[in-house]
Amino acid sequence: MLGAPPRPVRAWMSRLDILNHMVQYTGTVLDASFAALSDATRRGVLEQLGREEASITELAGKFHMTLTGMKKHVSVLERAGLVTTEKVGRVRTCRLGRGLEREAAWIESYRRLWAARFDELDELVEGLKQKERADGRKKRQ
């Protein structure tokens, strides 16, 4: 039987557990939203509801699909919090839910990261060009 891992390995595993927890938490918060937004019909439903509230029947008609199919799409959007529904009698009315601030913030953080990396790359390339020009002048002299 193996004993406990050595102390440095335990410390590393502990950090890994914390990182894993952070990744899983962030993922669960955003996964439902990005999964909902990955489908063109669901994005179209959000655009439609941005103009006006609509019943599931009206949405199904506008998107030329069955009522059951539209219910499934609305259900995915509802689980993500992007749509809310209210049933009055036999009619279920849909409206926009929360905004996409959380998702926009996540995307913006990666946009800034990549912009910074590209800026660093631009600086590196410019430095190499200057060095190349300087080396070319030395060889000609």
Structure tokens at 74: 């609305």
pLDDT of residue 11: 53
- In order, the DSSP letters of 3-21 are -PPPHHHHHHHHHHHHHHH
pLDDT digit string, tens, across residues 107-132: 898 899 899 899 899 899 998 888 88
Q: Residue 99: pLDDT band by 50, 70, 90 thresholds?
A: confident
Q: Residue 1: pLDDT band by 50, 70, 90 thresholds?
A: very low
Mean pLDDT value of segment 77-95 = 94
Query: Which residues have a Cβ under 8 Å from the Cβ of 33 and sit 6 or more positions away?
Result: 80, 81, 82, 100, 102, 103
The DSSP 8-state label assigned to residue 94 in this structure reads E
Q: Which amino acid is at 18?
A: I
Phi/psi region, residue 3 (left: phi>0; alpha: psi -120 to 50; beta: rest), is beta
CA angle 25, 28, 33 (to 5 degrees): 135
Q: Kindly report the pTM of this predicted structure.
A: 0.65
Q: Which helix (H) or strand (E) covers residue 83, if one does?
A: strand 83-88
Give φ, ψ of 54 to 5 degrees. Answer: -155, 150
